Chains A and B, each alone.
Chain A
Amino acid sequence: MLSKLAFRNVKRSAKDYVIYLITVTLAFSFIFAFNLMSNSKEILNLCDIMNNFAIVMYFVNVFIIFIVCFLINYTIKFMFSKRSREFGTYMLLGIKKKKISSMFTLENIILGFLSLLISIPLGYLFSLFMSFIVTRTFGLNEIVKITFSLNPILLLLAYFIFIYLFVLMLAHHRMKKVKIYDLLYLEKQNEEKQFKKNKIRNITFVFSLIIGITAVVLFNREFKGFGTEPSFGMVLVCIILIIISIYGVTITLADFILKIVLKNKKLKYHKDNLFVARTFSSKVKTMSFTLGILTVLITFTLIALNLSSLFKAMFDYQLELASPYDISIKEIDENNIPEYINFIENEYTIEESFSYHGYKETNRDISNALGKYGGWREYDQVIRLTDYNKLLELKGDSPITLASDEYVVNVTKELGDLLVSNPSIKTITLSNGIELKQKEILTTGYTYAWGVGYGSIIVVPDDVVTDLEIGATSLIVNTKEKTTESFAKKMAKFISSNICRETEDGEEDCYSLYNLTVRGQEEANNNGFVTIISFVCLYIAFIFIATVGTILAIQSLSDSTKYHYRYKVLSKLGVRENQLNKTIFKQLFIFFIFPVFYPLIISYITVFTLNNVFNIVLTTDTIYLLYYSINVFIFILIYAIYFLATYFGFKRNIGKMEEV
């Protein structure tokens, strides 16, 4: 009978349970979709790097499940409070708490299973959408087919069982503690007010702000820029401090805003400000704990989104720097070139091939100027202007010119500053005695694409190199077709016998893969990293936004029924309907935007700081601003959907009340 009643309750109160169902279904769909992806052979086989995807996801899941527990627990609490009267009546009729509790548990299990069932096909749909994104990332012609497999379903089931065991235990505990009187007479209890005295609140606010600033400054110091190693412990301390600060500011800020509004008479009596401010402040005061958590989640969401795009940009730029050409083989024996070209021709149509020499410059003027960043070579690499221009041309850049007594040095971005300020290299003397004046210091990078182990490359007029010893010969090939990872492996095997040489003590020394760069392989690795990182970041971001949005929506909607009398009073006082709607809009808007403010600032500073590290591997110093704006926009877009849904739901609830 108990199960029958529970089942009926579910069926008949379906409308009340819509929010619950949507929440749980969405959460499980996301979990399922991401796990389906990370367990799918098709995805994992895209490239070697992707094998790590599944492992990374196990760790991320732990984190996600924690948040989903929080979310579902909140939703169950909400349903519990909505039905408190009903439970009160049960108790009044002499039904024992244990029985009511097991009925509620049963209901939740039924609903949970329902959501679980829906979430499997829905999650599959999500994963199809995601595989479309992956297809785009990898530039594949065909969409990767995701096949159903047992593993992610079992994982989902395991997560489901864990989450429900946990939240239902909490629910059971809540039921055990609750008094019949509270159920019957207090529709819903608010969270405890955190601050009884204004002074304590003010101190907390200032203190939290100071903690926040300190944390941000410390964090910034850890990421000063190239060459500084941030200590893990310090970063962790910063993160904890930032979380404390976010929490502290959130629970005190609303009162501050209220104070300002109330002190200023003009502001106070302007339109509905007084009503909105008071409503808002009472709301924040009673749910500051939850709001604090939400604010932290929003901060994480924004940072996760930004990290995802920063990493993507970084990898894209790295890819371009490392392999601007389809195939390049460095430091080879000149005699092997025809053999290599032959091998490549078996697989691809060669558009252009080009080989050039790097010359040894043993004075090491440039390396000396770079100090410890000068690299491990015993000489600087010099290449002829004609070769250099050809290299530029092959990657689609325009050539440079040099007078007969000039040189140009090209270094990687992070080293540029070291050279610019150095007067000793205004003129350099090559090992053959020729003096050259510095024309320019280029920081376009690519030095690693042109030679192994060089942070710098010296470009000199053609005839200057005559007496210099040839250091290395390199071959560059552009193919018509796209190169692949598997070709890279074949090629590496093919050349490995030739690029290994005997050292003085008779051992074989191989540089194999360092010498061979195949764009297809680099791309695959790059895409693998990008996919893993952006999936993890997006996974976190989506679940967090969903959590925040749902909790805010649930809060507002339950308020709309609980405090409908407030709006009734307003309407009795002569506020017209459209004016009332405006007030509701304003109030919800503030409620939704409030937990976003501080995270926007914090995440901006964090991204700004991280940019200190990333900018050397990003195309420009300020590109992160673009990413930041785009990510904030994406966040606001999804957030706005929740906001609008809440607004219309709220309006409908208030409207319904007026009819009654």
Chain B
Amino acid sequence: MKVLRLENVKKYYGTTSNITKAVDGISFEVEEGEFVAIMGASGSGKTTLLNAISTIDHVTSGHIFVGDKDITELKEDEKADFRKDNLGFIFQDFNLLDTLNIEENIALSLIINGENQNKVDEKVESITSKLGIQDVLKKFPYEVSGGQKQRCACARALINKPKLILADEPTGALDSKSSRLLLETMESMNQELKATILMVTHDAFSASFCKRVLFLKDGKIFNEIIKGEKTRKEFFNEILDVLTLLGGDVGNVK
């Protein structure tokens, strides 16, 4: 089943005299249970694309279907409900609320939406034990490490069992050890919890954990590679090759 389907999505900025085509006619699909990375240099439009899928930003034209719903046609309040039921988010800078402790951060959306108190505790416990952060539940975000914060964000993203998890440079603010740990966590989220993940990154190592990588350049899909039966190392090298190509056509170097 297709979780996500984009049809010729465009996002233009600016006025008629000075248009920036951040996303310029992108179409692709994500199947349930996939772990897809979108790569590209800064300014290639990857975050804009992610924002459009997140319903944070609206598109200039085109359609985005999550499940069978066209999210470009939702109203503001419907969007909120839609996000609550279908999407989970992981950000580069965690976006945790520093007034709440880790447990409350994870449970926040459940609490606000009036979930039963006992069920909340149960859900939080089950998810945090899987992600290995059950020891820091009572701590505040500023008291734990970046890696723990990001795993907390993962837990928050997972707790509703969303159709799709969107991650924006999740390892961007982490050291390499925490990065690896997080990516392994995400991999297991994908494999064991069957979460569908769409991740934006410019880091080849991060992307090598995915099953499929889309490359963006100037708002268009430049290339697509699939891991298939390759080892991660092979896949990593393949990604690097594409990136080298992406870094500039031969013609660009004078």
Q: How far is the CB of B65 from chain A (nearest CB, A)?
A: 19
Q: Which stretch (B93-101, B215-223, B230-238, B245-253) binds chain A? A: B93-101
- Nearest chain B residue, comparing its CB with the CB of A91: B80
CB-based contact A95/B97 at 8 Å: no
Q: Give the residues in chain B near A95, CB-CB below 8 Å.
A: 80, 84, 109, 112-113
> Is B82 at the interface (CB under 8 A from chain A)?
yes
CB-based contact A97/B76 at 8 Å: yes
- Which residues, 83 to 113 on B, are CB-close (under 8 Å) to A? 83-85, 87, 89, 95-100, 108-109, 111-113
CB-based contact A181/B56 at 8 Å: yes
CB-based contact A8/B100 at 8 Å: yes
Choose among A1, A9, A181, A184 the residue that contacts B112 (Cβ–Cβ < 8 A).
A1
Q: Give the residues in chain B near A88, CB-CB below 8 Å.
A: 95
Q: Give the residues in chain A near B96, CB-CB below 8 Å.
A: 89
CB-based contact A93/B83 at 8 Å: yes
Q: Give the residues in chain A near B77, CB-CB below 8 Å.
A: 96-98
Q: How far is the CB of B236 from chain A (nearest CB, A)?
A: 31
**CA A92 – CA B57 in complex, angstroms?**
11
> Is B178 at the interface (CB under 8 A from chain A)?
no
- Nearest chain A residue, comparing its CB with the CB of B84: A94
Q: Give the residues in chain A near B80, CB-CB below 8 Å.
A: 91, 94-97
CB-based contact A86/B76 at 8 Å: no
Q: Give the residues in chain A near B57, CB-CB below 8 Å.
A: 181
Q: Give the residues in chain A near B171, CB-CB below 8 Å.
A: none
Q: Give the residues in chain B near A93, CB-CB below 8 Å.
A: 83-84, 89, 108-109, 112, 156
Known contacts A5-B111, A85-B95, A97-B76; A92 and B81 CB within 8 A of each other: no
Q: How far is the CB of A185 from chain B (nearest CB, A)?
A: 8
**CA A90 – CA B99 in complex, angstroms?**
13
**CA A435 – CA B97 in complex, angstroms?**
98
- Which residues, 119 to 170 on B, are CB-close (under 8 Å) to A? 156, 160
- Nearest chain A residue, comparing its CB with the CB of B112: A95
CB-based contact B114/A1 at 8 Å: yes
Known contacts A12-B99, A85-B95, A89-B95; A94 and B51 CB within 8 A of each other: no
- Nearest chain A residue, comparing its CB with the CB of B83: A94
CB-based contact B97/A86 at 8 Å: yes
**CA A639 – CA B95 in complex, angstroms?**
38
Q: How far is the CB of A80 from chain B (nearest CB, A)?
A: 15
- Which residues, 86 to 127 on A, are CB-close (under 8 Å) to B? 86, 88-99
**CA A91 – CA B79 in complex, angstroms?**
9
CB-based contact B99/A13 at 8 Å: yes
Q: How far is the CB of B125 from chain A (nearest CB, A)?
A: 19
CB-based contact A5/B56 at 8 Å: no
> Is A2 at the interface (CB under 8 A from chain B)?
yes
Q: How far is the CB of A299 from chain B (nearest CB, A)?
A: 40
Q: Give the residues in chain A near B206, CB-CB below 8 Å.
A: none
**CA A99 – CA B108 in complex, angstroms?**
13
What 1/0 flags go to A455-491 for Cβ under 8 Å of B? 0000000000000000000000000000000000000
CB-based contact B112/A92 at 8 Å: no
What 1/0 flags go to B49-70 for Cβ under 8 Å of A? 0010011110000000000000
CB-based contact B83/A92 at 8 Å: yes
CB-based contact A94/B108 at 8 Å: no
Known contacts A8-B100, A181-B57; A92 and B113 CB within 8 A of each other: no
CB-based contact A1/B111 at 8 Å: yes
Q: Give the residues in chain A near B112, CB-CB below 8 Å.
A: 1-2, 5, 90, 93, 95, 99
**CA A96 – CA B112 in complex, angstroms?**
10
**CA A8 – CA B111 in complex, angstroms?**
14
Q: Give the residues in chain A near B81, CB-CB below 8 Å.
A: 94, 96
CB-based contact B100/A94 at 8 Å: no
- Nearest chain A residue, comparing its CB with the CB of B162: A94
Q: Give the residues in chain A near B108, CB-CB below 8 Å.
A: 90, 93
> Is A180 at the interface (CB under 8 A from chain B)?
yes
- Nearest chain A residue, comparing its CB with the CB of B96: A89
For A8, A9, A96, A181, the residue with the greatest tally of chain B CB atoms inside 10 Å of its CB is: A96
- Nearest chain A residue, comparing its CB with the CB of B85: A94
**CA A639 – CA B181 in complex, angstroms?**
54
**CA A85 – CA B91 in complex, angstroms?**
12
Q: Give the residues in chain A near B160, CB-CB below 8 Å.
A: 94
**CA A91 – CA B84 in complex, angstroms?**
9
**CA A85 – CA B95 in complex, angstroms?**
8
Q: Give the residues in chain A near B100, CB-CB below 8 Å.
A: 8, 12
**CA A5 – CA B83 in complex, angstroms?**
21
Choose among A1, A13, A90, A92 the residue that contacts B56 (Cβ–Cβ < 8 A).
A92
- Nearest chain B residue, comparing its CB with the CB of A92: B89
- Which residues, 66 to 100 on A, are CB-close (under 8 Å) to B? 85-86, 88-99
- Nearest chain A residue, comparing its CB with the CB of B51: A181
For A88, A97, A180, A184, the residue with the greatest tally of chain B CB atoms inside 10 Å of its CB is: A180
**CA A92 – CA B83 in complex, angstroms?**
7
**CA A91 – CA B7 in complex, angstroms?**
26
**CA A538 – CA B89 in complex, angstroms?**
54
**CA A110 – CA B51 in complex, angstroms?**
35
**CA A259 – CA B235 in complex, angstroms?**
58
CB-based contact A9/B56 at 8 Å: no
Q: Give the residues in chain B near A90, CB-CB below 8 Å.
A: 108, 112
- Nearest chain B residue, comparing its CB with the CB of A94: B84
Q: How far is the CB of B212 from chain A (nearest CB, A)?
A: 25
Q: Give the residues in chain A near B55, CB-CB below 8 Å.
A: 180
CB-based contact B56/A184 at 8 Å: yes
Q: Give the residues in chain A near B54, CB-CB below 8 Å.
A: 92
Q: How far is the CB of B90 from chain A (nearest CB, A)?
A: 11
For B95, B97, B113, the residue with the greatest tally of chain A CB atoms inside 10 Å of its CB is: B97
- Nearest chain A residue, comparing its CB with the CB of B156: A93
Q: Give the residues in chain A near B111, CB-CB below 8 Å.
A: 1, 5
Q: How far is the CB of A174 from chain B (nearest CB, A)?
A: 15
- Nearest chain A residue, comparing its CB with the CB of B117: A1
- Nearest chain A residue, comparing its CB with the CB of B47: A185
- Which residues, 493 to 533 on A, are CB-close (under 8 Å) to B? none
- Nearest chain A residue, comparing its CB with the CB of B94: A89
- Nearest chain A residue, comparing its CB with the CB of B111: A1
**CA A89 – CA B93 in complex, angstroms?**
12
- Nearest chain A residue, comparing its CB with the CB of B93: A85
**CA A26 – CA B215 in complex, angstroms?**
58
**CA A88 – CA B83 in complex, angstroms?**
13
**CA A596 – CA B108 in complex, angstroms?**
47
CB-based contact B114/A94 at 8 Å: no
Q: How far is the CB of A28 from chain B (nearest CB, A)?
A: 26
What 1/0 flags go to A1-39 for Cβ under 8 Å of B? 110010011001100000000000000000000000000
Q: Give the residues in chain B near A9, CB-CB below 8 Å.
A: 99
Q: Give the residues in chain A near B114, CB-CB below 8 Å.
A: 1
Q: Give the residues in chain A near B83, CB-CB below 8 Å.
A: 91-94
Q: Give the residues in chain A near B156, CB-CB below 8 Å.
A: 93
- Which residues, 354 to 388 on A, are CB-close (under 8 Å) to B? none
CB<8 Å pairs between A and B, sample of 18: A1-B114, A8-B100, A9-B99, A12-B99, A13-B99, A86-B99, A89-B96, A90-B108, A90-B112, A93-B109, A94-B81, A94-B82, A94-B83, A94-B113, A95-B112, A97-B77, A97-B80, A98-B77
The 10 lowest CB-CB distance pairs between A and B, nearest first, are A94-B84, A12-B99, A93-B109, A94-B83, A96-B80, A89-B95, A95-B112, A181-B57, A181-B56, A94-B80
A90-B108, A93-B156, A94-B83 known; 7 new pairs, CB 8 Å cut-off, are A1-B111, A1-B112, A1-B114, A12-B100, A92-B95, A94-B82, A94-B160
